[in-house]
Structure 1
Amino acid sequence: MNLNQLYYFKKLAELEHYTQASKELFITQPSLSGAISSLEEELGITLFQRHGRNIKLSKYGKEFYQYVCLSLIELEKGIEKAKERSDSYGGVIDLGCIPTLAGDFLPKSINGFLKSIDSKTQFNVFHGMTLELIKGIESEKYDVGFCSYVENKPKLDFHPIMAQELILLVNNNHPLAEKSSICLKELSGYKLITYRQCLPIGKTIRKYLKANQLKALYAYDDEISIGGIVSTTDNAAITARTPFLHQFHDLKMITLDIPLNARLIYLVMNNNSYHTLHVKSFINYILQNECRLPE
């Protein structure tokens, strides 16, 4: 038994898919299969059982998985402590974030951390929608994420860090373009669009629309798509005020009577994961220095 076998087993147990696990481990599928077979032979037990095209942990595999996780966490703590005591300490942080933060908030936050806390840390930044990012945080693909709140995730910690204002978006030829602010109830009779209902921000906006007896076509994933539709049609849109909208020069952003804290962005982390010192330092830096919540 060697350390690689334990890491391979842990990854396969979490993904329950040989092809996907081998890709994330950067090894061939036959190499992974051989390592698991050798491990099972040495232990004298079957760790996985076939479940259609996928696999599932056996009864003994589930028990072994708990011990492997605890052992690897302690080992990683020891390695981290050794690095911390040496002069070569640095590290890599894998971040997942929604695209709307990639142009302003995240670069400023990372640069601030590098300048004031740890200039040796390297950041890998991955973009995705909230539900995709949540899966990545749960599977430990990302050390930390920045996205919307998702219910029924007891293993995750959500810390609100900023709000994105929800506005009405129209083009310059729209009948409402002369207004600087408007109430939701005044939008009755106008064609409205917004985000897909499956997205957290879509659910939030739907709540306010329903309270004002309004309906909208929920068909879009992001502000670029929404801005493009609004700029070329007579539709109005309820959307978040983000840097993506600045590329459109023929749009008018109108203030709505929706609370500023209706759309919150969260720092999200897996409270069951082991976080290295540089990950903890980055989390603490964000929570102490980069929170931008409305008063």
Structure 2
Amino acid sequence: METRQLEIFVCVAERLNFTEAAKHLYLTQSAVSLQIADLEKQLGVKLFKRNSHSVQLTEAGQVFLKEAKSLIATLEEAIKKTRHTASGFAGTLKVGFLESHTKHFLPKLVKDFRKSYPKIKLMLIQLNWGDLNMALEHNDIDIGLTMSVSLQNAPHVVWQPLLRDVECFVIPYDHPLANQPELDLAAVAKEPFIVLNREVAPCPYDFTFQLCANRGFTPRIVERPYLTEILLTFVESGEGIAILPYFATKPYASPNLRFIKLEGEDAQVDLVASWKKVNRNPAIPLFLNKAKKNIQIIQNGMIFPCTTE
């Protein structure tokens, strides 16, 4: 039984006239009669009572008319949903994110995306650095919002830059170094440092050490908190200084902290949207487009920190 046969049957049943149905379907009357005869043979019942003067539905035909209309409507809805999913306008998109690096733009982005694509189920999953990469590899998320430095050893993952960030020394405003006209790296080398625990942030941990090594010293680590918020609290309370990305951190950092930009290309990092190469979820490019637009607006309103000249 084919959908076309159902459509022919419904057309005849609604008009109770084979000639008019044939004209409407752009078929010959004999072709319509053959399709109805084949359908009756498949069902094993008569659908029409016919004579030289009239065409009437049998009792079985009346029941089948209702069911045929329902089947056609269900099929049309299935086709519609499938096409919407294929074009990215329906379905599910799972987004993993680093809370400390996205909280200044993610709420507005999510609101904008859901308004534009209400039929896409957007699932948000907060993860730490290591778990986010693992979730991408295992297809537990479609997109990961993270920093480019965390993806250097992820060969199956591609990414698109969303925002160019710069690493900064983060120092309390009342710290003696914060009042210097320029930051003396030799003086910084003697300072206690606070870094995120390598267990939850292996890439930022190693990246901090590499930045310091490139400048001729090894940081003396005194605290290894698991959360960026705790790290900033330690810095503000005078426990030590830190190296953190500016745009990702500044929006929610205390006004009692000063950000002093590190010079050099090695201090530039990208906030990125990442996804697995083989992931063909059509909602991915829709989300990327919204993310770039929302983040660009935020970046345009921010001013780069002071530099060490």
Task: Provide the TM-score with structure 1 as the length reference.
Answer: 0.60
Which amino acid in the other structure matches residue 125 of structure 1? L
Aligned to 2:99: 99
What aligned pairs does 1:73-112 form with structure 2 within 5 A after superposition?
Answer: 82-84=82-84, 90-112=90-112
Aligned to 2:27: none
Aligned to 1:127: 126
Q: What is the CA deviation profile of residues 240-267 of structure 1, one whole-angstrom value per residue up to 9, with x for unaligned ones?
A: 2334773534333333324486222221
| Native 8 Å contact 2:85 2:91 kept in 1 | no
Which amino acid in the other structure matches residue 176 of structure 2? P
Cα RMSD (Å):
3.4
Task: Provide the TM-score with structure 2 as the length reference.
Answer: 0.58
The answer on 1:266 being equivalent to 2:292 is no
| Native 8 Å contact 2:92 2:120 kept in 1 | yes
SS at match of 2:224: strand
| Native 8 Å contact 2:81 2:90 kept in 1 | no
Q: What is the CA distance between 1:186 and its match in structure 2?
A: 4.3
Aligned to 2:39: none
The answer on 1:253 being equivalent to 2:259 is yes
Which amino acid in the other structure matches residue 141 of structure 2? Y
Q: Highest Rg: 1 or 2?
A: 2
Q: What is the CA distance between 1:272 and its match in structure 2?
A: 2.0
The answer on 1:144 being equivalent to 2:143 is yes
| Identity fraction in percent | 16
| Native 8 Å contact 1:182 1:257 kept in 2 | no
| Native 8 Å contact 1:147 1:266 kept in 2 | yes
Write the distance in 1 (CA, Å) between the matches of 2:80 and 2:131.
Answer: 29
| Residues 1:274 and 1:118: Cα distance change in structure 2 (over 3 Å) | same
Which residue of the other structure, out of 269, 283, 288, is the alignment partner of 2:288?
A: 283
Aligned to 1:24: none
The answer on 1:240 being equivalent to 2:245 is yes
Q: What is the CA deviation profile of residues 44-67 of structure 1, one whole-angstrom value per residue up to 9, with x for unaligned ones?
A: xxxxxxxxxxxxxxxxxxxxxxxx
Write the distance in 2 (CA, Å) between the matches of 1:288 and 1:250.
Answer: 30
Which amino acid in the other structure matches residue 288 of structure 2? I
Which ranges of structure 2 fall in alignment gaps of 5 or more residues? 1-77, 301-309
| Native 8 Å contact 1:223 1:244 kept in 2 | no
| Native 8 Å contact 2:211 2:266 kept in 1 | no
Write the distance in 2 (CA, Å) between the matches of 1:239 and 1:85.
Answer: 39
